[in-house]
Structure 1
Amino acid sequence: MKKVFLIGSVASGKTTLAKRLSEKMNIPWFELDSIVHHQTPKGRIRRTPAEQLEVIMEIDKKGAWIMEGTDRDSYQYLYTMADTIIFLDTPLTVRKIRILLRFLKQVLGVEKCAYKPDLMMLKMMDKWTRDFEQNRGNLEAKLMQYKKKVTRLKDGSKLNDLL
């Protein structure tokens, strides 16, 4: 595993697993939300799909990587680029609880985030979760195309099985 594409829904545990993999394998990890939404001194701006591809290609030139995020149209090429695809398929109830706990921690200032943790963002996370479930069939069909390099996990506790 030198190029790992880690995908899953909101609050599936992608970032936690990516950090752990990165430490164990000594490979840099990149949060795709940070590539899509670039932080500037004036705030977050959304890169175009072409700009996102440019950033990802620069990262790819440097060698091994772990990229984690949801399944967005703007970075479909990662399925081909990756030598390993990990689908973190955490149960829906676990994700919903995590979304609520994350929101509370962010509002209380216990957990940092790059966005404003307000009720609108909480509603958006719920919407993205529903969208993910409604479009699950499309993702499953896509994963079938790459089945030789796909690993499905229900949670990140099986990390040692991957290595």
Structure 2
Amino acid sequence: MRKIFIIGIVASGKTTLAKRLSTQLGIPWHELDSIVHHHTLDGRNKRTPEEQVEVINDIDHSGDWIFEGVHRESYNCLLDMADTIIFLDPPLWKRKIRILTRYIKQSLGLEHCDYKSDIAMLKMMYTWTSDFEHNRPAFEAKLSLYSHKVTRVTNSEALDKILRSERVVEDSKGVTHG
């Protein structure tokens, strides 16, 4: 496990897992949101899909990595490059609670974010979650092409299992492989 792509929808736990695996394995991690929306002297700018792939390729040539983010077409190359794909798929109710909790923490200044945390963004996060569920069959079909390297994590016990070991045991409760 040296090139890891952690994928999931908003509030699925991607950043938390990426940080912990990065520390545990000594592998640098990269937020895909920062690749899409990068900071320049002029402010926060959005890269084109081609520019995003170029940045990803540059990082890939540097060696081991962990990328984490939601699915975008420009990230399809990561599905090919990764030797391990971890799909964080907690229940919808849990993600909805996490979205609200994140919004409250950001509003109180207890959690940093690189975007404007307001009611409009809160609504967008719920919309993205709803859209993901609506488009899940297409996403699942795409992911099935990589079933030999996909681990699906649906609960915190399974997540703890990943964090305790570099290899995930196939019979772990809440973890399914290909």
Tell me, yes or no, whether TM beats 0.5: yes
Show the 5 A alignment for 1:54-73. Answer: 54-73=54-73
Q: TM-score, normalised by structure 2?
A: 0.88
> Structure 2: how far apart are the matches of 1:45 and 1:87?
28
Match of 1:2 in 2: 2
Structure 1 stretches of 4+ moved >6 Å: none
Show the 5 A alignment for 1:81-96. Answer: 81-96=81-96
Query: 1:151 and 2:154 equivalent?
Result: no
Percentage of identical aligned residues: 61
> Structure 2: how far apart are the matches of 1:104 and 1:158?
29
> Structure 1: how far apart are the matches of 2:94 and 2:68?
19
The secondary structure found in structure 2 opposite 1:135 is: helix
CA separation of 1:161 and 1:93: change in aligned 2, threshold 3 A: farther
> Structure 1: how far apart are the matches of 2:35 and 2:154?
26
The secondary structure found in structure 1 opposite 2:66 is: strand
Match of 1:19 in 2: 19
How many residues are treated as equivalent by the alignment? 163
> Structure 2: how far apart are the matches of 1:132 and 1:59?
27
Show the 5 A alignment for 1:31-42. Answer: 31-42=31-42
State the one-letter code of the partner of 2:45.
Answer: I
The secondary structure found in structure 1 opposite 2:106 is: helix
Match of 1:131 in 2: 131
State the one-letter code of the partner of 1:7.
Answer: I
> Structure 2: how far apart are the matches of 1:109 and 1:97?
18
Residue 46 of structure 1 deviates from its aligned partner by 0.6
State the one-letter code of the partner of 2:121.
Answer: M
State the one-letter code of the partner of 2:47.
Answer: R
> Structure 1: how far apart are the matches of 2:39 and 2:15?
18
Segment of structure 1 superposing worse, 151-160 or 90-99: 151-160
State the one-letter code of the partner of 1:39.
Answer: H
Q: TM-score, normalised by structure 1?
A: 0.96
> Structure 1: how far apart are the matches of 2:52 and 2:37?
9
For structure 2, the 5+ residue unaligned runs are 168-178
Residue 42 of structure 1 deviates from its aligned partner by 2.7
Larger RCO, structures 1/2 (Cα 8 Å, 6+ apart) = 1
